[in-house]
Copies of this chain bind each other. A is one copy, B any other.
Amino acid sequence: MTEPVVNRPPSRAPSETMPYVHKVGIPPKQDILKEFKSGVKETFFADDPLRQFKDQPRSRKLMLVIQSVFPILDWGRHYSLQKFKGDIIAGLTIASLCIPQDIGYAKLAKLDPQYGLYSSFVPPLIYAFMGSSRDIAIGPVAVVSLLLGSLLQEEIDPTENPTDYRRLAFTATFFAGVTQATLGFFRLGFLIDFLSHAAIVGFMAGAAVTIALQQLKGLLGIKKFTQNTDIVSVMKSVWGTVHHGWNWQTILIGVSFLAILLLAKHIAKKNPKYFWVPAITPLLSVIIATFLVYITRADNHGVAIVKHIKKGVNPSSAKEIFFTGDYLGKGFKIGVVSGMVALTEAVAIARTFATMKDYQIDGNKEMVALGTMNMIGSLTSCYIATGSFSRSAVNYMSGCNTAVSNIVMSIVVLLTLLFITPLFKYTPNAILASIIISAVVGLFDINAMILIWKIDKFDFLACLGAFFGVVFVSVEIGLLIAVSISFAKILLQVTRPRTAILGKLPRTSVYRNIQQYPEALKIPGVLIIRVDSAIYFSNSNYVKERILRWLADEEEYLKENNQSRIEFLIVEMSPVTDIDTSGIHALEELHRALEKKDIRLVLANPGAIVMDKLHASQFVNLIGEDKIFLTVTDAVLTCAPKLEQA
């Protein structure tokens, strides 16, 4: 690949006044197949997943394939009691956190409470065998539950037709899994990179507010509550029931435990040593609140309680999935959307903790694991599970070492399902509402928002758009806004690349943007313009016209000040990483337009690919090979002497 080629001799003899000028290199020709192969590799196998297979015997390769599908076979061999100690503590901690959350999140998805627990049993088990993150905690999460609930509700009313609603939920879960696994298998994982960080921050914050608002129902003991999630409808519901409808006993339980939960969070924030305090407070609160309601029989005074959670392990739901009929398409659509959102969250978590512990995550393999776990989940009465940010953080803080902590959690949830669910009968809904509120508080990341504001105003706009979309309209609209803004940003980026006028920095031979370096000097008779992007069909016209506009501005200025006219236009091509046919056309048109004004077009430092295409299209012959230089300095040195003679 780096085989040296003999450079062609320079086309003009170096004059005595000229310094050494290095030729612009043309890279060794690659054959098409090789070029295509390397293109495909960078696009789909950027992380070089097959690196370890190189130079291995066949039997070892097979072993490696199996290991790469089930990483547990790899790390399991080095598993030790020492590691298990960390994992069991972490597993028990996240189990205590997930049980009350699961029951609450199932309510967000408008499903019966046991489905939340089911989803914390099967999916984490599958993940432990297939996933490569050591820190992620798998289970239902608030945002996906809310999203799934609102999307499903638009199709089927959960109170009027609970059976079909549940079946559609499993269908959506199945297709969410299929989507995730497919994206991973075809190595299209980079598609989730198209959701910008800013849009996600805004969307999450909006979802947090919406979820918290939804909890006012449970927290205030309101019976008739709106089905909409926008802030206006919710606040109307809340204020409309202020005189008759609020239940003071419920409020007392809810608000006091909410205060305790938030205090616990605050303690951990002040002193990370006490991270376990907010981790176990929810379960303790549930136990205490349940006990209080049981002994005071507050449920007879209007305090809403869970009443009934079905006991026993996940029943099969394979036959409940709609594989035919009208709901198949609907379930598919809902599954794709919520599957993608779930994926975004899980991959972000996996990446964050992998960076913190310095190990590698293969995003695409991770997606296959998540997809498989949701597909199997949908057959065993689970709804969409993914990585939970709050529980993963607790998992990490409690010292988890491997995915075994997920197995431990999963077993605890199984035991709960088998033996303990009846005890939740008297659990007041208000305590679940408080737990959810305290859990989603963390999704509202005000610091991230401030940072976004500081760094990029356009990003902040995207963030606000997604936030207000979720809060004032609906989760789907917020998501749509987030995606649209992200795409708009990408499209703007490619249509309107930046250009800059360069000047020479005093005491150096370096040419830089005169807006960044106001002390940089322009060279008389020469205009140097840098184009800051590949020139493609999407921006070729703009680039051409922008260069001509810079030229017109400069000419006007020179005329007004009676200075010598421009004779050379140097285009600094360093940032122009690629060019296509439209780009070549634009350059040709630029050359023709400049010719009419008797100005020479000069190129500085075209890259390998650009140089290749300039040759292929004969553009080099059009402007002359001696008009292409390695650096702006070389170009100016060759142009400027002529100016002095003129």
Name A residues whose Cβ lies closer than 8 Å to a Cβ of B.
Answer: 1-5, 7, 20, 22, 25-28, 32, 35-36, 39, 42-43, 46-48, 190, 193-198, 351, 355, 358, 363, 448, 451-452, 454-459, 486, 489-498, 505, 507-508, 510, 512-519, 532-534, 536-542, 545-546, 549, 574-575, 577-578, 580-582, 584-585, 589, 592-593, 596, 605, 607-609, 611, 613, 616-617, 630-631
Q: How far is the CA of A578 from the CA of B457 in the complex (A)?
A: 13
A22 touches B505 (CB 8 A): yes
A518 touches B355 (CB 8 A): no
Count of this chain's copies in the oligomeric assembly: 2
Q: How far is the CA of A578 from the CA of B42 in the complex (A)?
A: 22
A542 touches B48 (CB 8 A): no
B581 touches A198 (CB 8 A): yes
B538 touches A4 (CB 8 A): no
Cross-chain contact of A457 among B32, B43, B584, B631 (Cβ < 8 A) = B32
When C-beta atoms are compared, the residue in chain B nearest to A21 turns out to be B508
Q: How far is the CA of A539 from the CA of B494 in the complex (A)?
A: 13
Contacts of A589 in B (CB 8 A): 355
A196 touches B582 (CB 8 A): yes
B494 touches A490 (CB 8 A): yes
Known A-B contacts A193-B538, A358-B593, A593-B358; A490 and B490 likewise in contact (beta carbons under 8 Å): yes
Distance in Å: Cβ of A348 to nearest Cβ of chain B: 10
B22 touches A508 (CB 8 A): yes
A193 touches B455 (CB 8 A): no
Cross-chain contact of A2 among B498, B518, B593, B611 (Cβ < 8 A) = B518
Contacts of A457 in B (CB 8 A): 32, 35-36
Q: How far is the CA of A498 from the CA of B575 in the complex (A)?
A: 11
Distance in Å: Cβ of A276 to nearest Cβ of chain B: 26
Q: How far is the CA of A145 from the CA of B495 in the complex (A)?
A: 30
Known A-B contacts A451-B581, A457-B35, A496-B42; A545 and B193 likewise in contact (beta carbons under 8 Å): no
Contacts of A593 in B (CB 8 A): 355, 358
Contacts of A32 in B (CB 8 A): 457
Instruction: Identify the 5 closest CB pairs spanning chains A and B, nearest first.
Output: A516-B608, A575-B575, A532-B577, A196-B537, A197-B582
Distance in Å: Cβ of A74 to nearest Cβ of chain B: 19
A580 touches B538 (CB 8 A): no
Contacts of A486 in B (CB 8 A): 537-538
B515 touches A608 (CB 8 A): yes
Contacts of A494 in B (CB 8 A): 490, 493-494
Cross-chain contact of A617 among B28, B451, B533, B549 (Cβ < 8 A) = B451
Distance in Å: Cβ of A255 to nearest Cβ of chain B: 36
A617 touches B46 (CB 8 A): no
Distance in Å: Cβ of A432 to nearest Cβ of chain B: 34
Contacts of A514 in B (CB 8 A): 2
Q: How far is the CA of A26 from the CA of B512 in the complex (A)?
A: 12
Distance in Å: Cβ of A44 to nearest Cβ of chain B: 9
Q: How far is the CA of A559 from the CA of B155 in the complex (A)?
A: 61
Distance in Å: Cβ of A593 to nearest Cβ of chain B: 7
B536 touches A489 (CB 8 A): yes
Contacts of A631 in B (CB 8 A): 510
Q: How far is the CA of A39 from the CA of B589 in the complex (A)?
A: 26
B611 touches A532 (CB 8 A): no
Cross-chain contact of A46 among B22, B532, B545 (Cβ < 8 A) = B545
Contacts of A195 in B (CB 8 A): 537
When C-beta atoms are compared, the residue in chain B nearest to A513 turns out to be B608
Distance in Å: Cβ of A616 to nearest Cβ of chain B: 4
